[in-house]
Structure 1
Amino acid sequence: MLLNNAHSSDTTSFTYAGFSQHQDKLIFQGDARINSIYDLELTPDPATKNSVGRVLYEDEIQLWEKSTHGISISDFETTITFNLTSSPNDNNPADGFAFFIAPPDSTIPKDSYGGYLGLFSKSTALDPTKNHVVAVEFDTYFSGNSWDPNYRHIGIDVNTIESSITTPWERQDKKQGEVRINYNSATKFLTVESDYPGGKPYAVALNVDLTTRLPEKVRVGLSAATGDNVQVHTIHAWNFKSKLIKNEGISFFTWEEELLHSFLQQLPNLSLDVTVRDSWVWASDRNGLFSVKGAYSVISSLLHMDGLDGSEIYDELYHIVDVKAILPEKVRVGLSTST
């Protein structure tokens, strides 16, 4: 049942607390269906071999937008409640399910059953130049796929079935689990958390610029597949919300870039984050005001240009300038340091 939904050029939100047979605003592909108790079965019960099922939310989402001020990117978050049911005496049920983001005209690729999870064609699955899909996969099959680790896992896939990053994950048969996925447009981190009630929490994150991987407008969806081994992939609830974070035209002029570059080079142990904790770097826009997210992006870019360890500094700077909780959205700015 679609409890609420909202859509504009900048925001999208929806909540499915169960799925009515009216199938409001869902595009069904392959074997996906609503069962008699109003759950969404991505692959049907009883489980069948080489099954693929997907649903996509109908409204297109403005993932990012290019304007005269630069590129604006959406924050988004989604929560999925799921259940996986294996056949009796099956110790390696397959294959898993995924949350995915793809171009609006996305359809089930040819031969995408089994470990391809309904997302990638067998012939191009390992070629990132041939695909436009970013997915978070929950892979329950732990042997037989050359691109996968030899354990059940959560993986983040960027235009290829070979995950950019994975973490071990254990399914619990016939128990209700939850997935929480978040994308922060300022840090460009895609974070994933999953757990079962009372069970071990699992988490993984990846720094990925979605503007270089996906078109400006996309659809979001859920996908699952079986191969020679099978299981039923059931979704009990799904909610999603996104908001385009407008780029307000914040920029450094040339002299400011040179000043900041020189300043950062003077800081001792910069790559080890020793004394940077007490340093603040600010930049103003054309109105003399400052936005935290805009300056963070510029600062991190300059650090990458210096050839420093981007992952370490990126994370550290995020904590330094994430002051939205204690400062108003617009502030006056300056440049300061201490040791």
Structure 2
Amino acid sequence: MYPSSSLKLLCALTIFFFTPSLSIPFLPANNISLFGDAFLNTNNSISLTKQKNCTPPPPPPLFPPPPTSLSGVGRAFYTNPVRFLDLSTNATASFFCSFSFTITNTPSCPFGDGLTFLITSNTNSFSLYDGYMGLPAETEDSSEIQDFYFAVEFDTSFDPNLEDINGNHIGIDVNNVVSFASVDVVSKGEVDLKNGREITSWIEYTDSDKMIRVWIGYSNQIRPENPVLVVKIDLSEKFKEFMHIGFTASNGKGSSIHTVDHWRFKTFFGFVPSTMPMDTVESGDCLMCYPGDTDIDISSFDYHRSNRRVLNLALVLVGFLVLTVIIASVVVGFVCLNRKRRLRKTRSERQMRTFQGGTMVPEMLSLNEIKSATNGFNSDKIIGEGASAVVYEGNIRNCGAVAVKRFIQENKVGSSTSRIPFNTEFATMAGCLKHKNLVQLQGWCCEKNELVLVYEYMANGSLDKILHNRTNLTKFLTWERRLNIILGVASALIYLHEECESQIIHRDVKTCNILLDSEFNAKLGDFGLAEVYRHSFVTRDATVPAGTMGYLAPEYAFSGVPSVKTDVYSFGVVVLEVASGRRPVDEERVVISDYVWDLWEKGIIVEAADPNLMGRFNKTEMEKILMVGLCCAHPDCEKRPTMRKVVRMLRGELPLPVLPPRKPTVRIQSVLPEGCEEIMSFGGGGVDHTPWSTPRTHFSSKN
């Protein structure tokens, strides 16, 4: 289930309580602790190291004094520890960090060691003496390191003893100054760490796929599309419940000023889609929110080395009063929001009962959840477009990968014509149709003039694209898989025609509405034109037929009256299309059924086989499939078999149909019951005793 209102309130309070000094400027502002050479600049940025004099040192005395600390090493940590492990659920946090920094060199001096962003369980376990960017030196016995640390280093000093690749690289360090993985940023054409320009880095760890990703670019640029370093690493067994986050730098034998500015750090508990950049997720969005999540946004640093107890006490009292006001405001807002939600849910449930006689449907989703799943209906997420809707790929918590079908609104208030496809498809699917060869409805949304249906995601897309666009998946469309696809669609039509509580006529059976999962199993979708048969009388005006040219049965194109036999005709065209690889009407306007009938008349029907199969099929099976396709696409609807008989013929349980030596010519006549002709007059009314109805819709020309 998705987060409730009470969980959203808890999320909001968590953000306030965990980071009061960062989110509310008039609360205590001691958000950074400084160590060693680190100091605060007048512009509220942090310099981790100081300039050094690089002149040659005098000869060492006979009895040198003991080494002093703070020799070119500086560290800065966020004052409060951050939760990285939820002990109650054993969940590990994913995190995102972005910060800007500069590394400027002292003239005539070599560059210092560089700086690191780090996460550590102990802020006192780091070297304050020489080199290593302030990280602990490697020990002979790794068990001596009792505290865990993870660091991303921006190294500007080449040290072959540390297996550095050069003096201008990024590395990942895990409890060792020798990098776990590294990359030369100069050769990749990203940035030069030594040119003195302000640089921004983005660091992201997703626990769901155990992957760390690092981006880098100059601060006047947006985040690059591709990371410079991607490393598979599992931190779930390394993190303690609470860890410290911050920066460390050292100069070693060189002299550089390492400055950090504009730091943001976020943690997430629970599932975070790898396709959704974490820096785009708002902290208040409870699709990602979870008790314990942290969002730290520091645009300026502040610290104090003294306690200043009196001032702190006064600030704490002010903070307490502010928090009291905030809590009261949140409680009032929660009550109002909860009441609004109840009213909206009641209205939605009342509306849904009008669709399916009171039968409730899969889960109602909020518009915020839909937008988060599709990155705000980002065009990069589009996987399909039709006359009435656009389909986006998305990822929703508890549903996983989904296909989000967003219906096109013609105006802001939503005209009746724009709602017809949504209403028709929703009314059909509201019965919660369950069949392995039907695309399953996962959820829906009707909010702020947005009409959305959420379906299960089909990894291999539509049959039409694979069959005709010659994608790299075409080679996987073997003859055995084509037979399985034909049988799957036939099974779905049997279910719709004979096994549903209410008989359903699909009216738009075609290859672009047949979707394939990761195993190339077929599922029939897009019920926007479907007709539901109920044992009641309806009235209707005469309409033009709805469907797609090339798949329309002759009698349906003439009368506009659908039946199960019109679905059988469309299925027959699909069978010929799958077997031959030809479109229903090719570029030369040749109809596929005429093409196959011509080969049948010549006695060479097997030559209709798709050349892409390269002869890898059973000729007897190919002939049987093509004959069944011609039988289903027979011009005379009375000669077409039922879908149940079609499946039995395909499985060899019934003999093949007896086809005439030539394509029959059938004279189309009205199929209306006697006495109903007046119903077909435009603007006429009356009672229709036939078991179908045709919606008031325009002819569909979508592909």
* TM-score band w.r.t. shorter chain: 0.5 to 0.7
Among 90, 98, 115, which residue is 2:116 paired with? 98
Distance 1:123 1:182, change over 3 A: closer
The structure in which a higher percent of residues are strand is: 1
Q: Structure 2 vs 1, CA of residues 73 and 47 (structure 1 numbering), >3 Å: closer, same or farther?
A: farther
Aligned partner letter, 2:101: F
Partner of residue 237, structure 1:
262
Choose between structure 1 and 2 for higher RCO, CA contacts under 8 A separated by at least 6 residues: 1
Alpha-carbon contact 2:127-2:135 (below 8 Å) kept: no
Measure the CA separation in 1 of the matches of 2:393 and 2:144. 40
Distance 1:73 1:38, change over 3 A: same
CA, structure 1 residues 144+132, in 2 after alignment: closer, same or farther (shift >3 Å)? Answer: same
Runs of 5+ unmatched residues, structure 1:
1-5, 17-21, 248-288, 290-323
2:519 is matched with: 338
Alpha-carbon distance in structure 1 between the residues aligned to 2:213 and 2:81: 22
When the two structures are superposed, what TM-score results if normalisation uses the length of structure 1?
0.63
The one-letter code of the counterpart of 2:213 is: T
Match status 1:113 vs 2:134? no
Select the residue among 71, 78, 85 that pairs with 1:64: 85
Tell me the alpha carbon deviations over residues 33-61 of structure 1, each in whole angstroms, 9 at most, x when there is no partner: 10233221011246789411111111221
Please say if residues 31 and 42 of structure 1, whose CA atoms lie closer than 8 Å, have aligned partners that are also in contact.
yes
SS across alignment from 1:211? coil
CA deviation string 1:70-103 (max 9, x = no partner) = x21112111111111101134x401100000001
SS of residue paired to 2:268: strand
3-state SS of 2:212 partner: strand
Give the C-alpha shift of residue 191 in structure 1: 0.9
1:34 matches 2:40: yes
The answer as to 2:216 corresponding to 1:194 is yes
Aligned counterparts of 2:259 and 2:82: Cα–Cα separation in 1: 25
Are 1:214 and 2:236 matched, yes or no?
A: no
> Which residues of structure 2 form unaligned runs of 5+?
1-11, 23-27, 55-69, 186-191, 273-362, 364-391, 400-441, 443-455, 459-516, 521-703
Give the corresponding residue for 1:203.
228
Closer/same/farther in 2, CA of residues 219 and 204 from structure 1, 3 Å limit: same
**What root-mean-square deviation, in Å, do the aligned CA atoms of Structure 1 and Structure 2 show?**
3.7
Task: Label 1:125 to 1:208 Cα distance change in 2 as closer, same or farther (>3 A).
Answer: farther
Provide the C-alpha distance between the structure 2 equivalents of 1:180 and 1:126, rounded to a whole number of angstroms: 33
Structure 1 equivalent of residue 92 of structure 2: 73
TM-score, with normalisation over the residues of structure 2? 0.32
Deviation at 1:328, TM superposition (A): 3.5
Alpha-carbon spacing, 1:160–1:9, altered in 2? closer, same or farther (3 Å): farther
Alignment match of 1:8 (pick from 9, 14, 18): 14
Task: Indicate conservation of the 8 Å contact 2:35/2:76, yes or no.
Answer: yes
Structure 1 residues 129 and 182, CA, compared in 2 at 3 Å: closer, same or farther?
farther
From the superposition, tell whether residues 149 and 80 of structure 1 become closer, same or farther in structure 2 (CA, over 3 Å). Answer: same
Alpha-carbon distance between aligned partners in 1 of 2:398 and 2:171, rounded to the nearest angstrom: 38
Equivalent-residue separation in structure 2 for 1:82 and 1:234 (angstroms): 5
The runs of 4+ residues in structure 1 deviating greater than 4 Å are 9-16, 45-49, 197-202, 332-337
Give the structure 2 partner of residue 225 of structure 1.
Answer: 250
Higher helix share: 2
Q: Which residue of 2 aligns with 1:268?
A: none
Residue aligning to 1:176: 198
Q: Name the CA distance, whole Å, in 2 between partners of 1:47 and 1:234.
A: 19
Question: 1:292: which partner in 2?
Answer: none
CA contact (8 A) 1:117 1:225 kept: yes
Measured after TM superposition, the shift of residue 235 of structure 1 is 1.1
Structure 1 match to 2:394: 326
| 1:12–1:241 contact (8 Å) kept in structure 2 | no
The count of corresponding residues between Structure 1 and Structure 2 is 249
State the match for 1:185 in structure 2: 207
Larger-Rg structure: 2
Deviation at 1:158, TM superposition (A): 0.8
CA distance in structure 2 between the aligned counterparts of 1:124 and 1:11, rounded to whole angstroms:
40
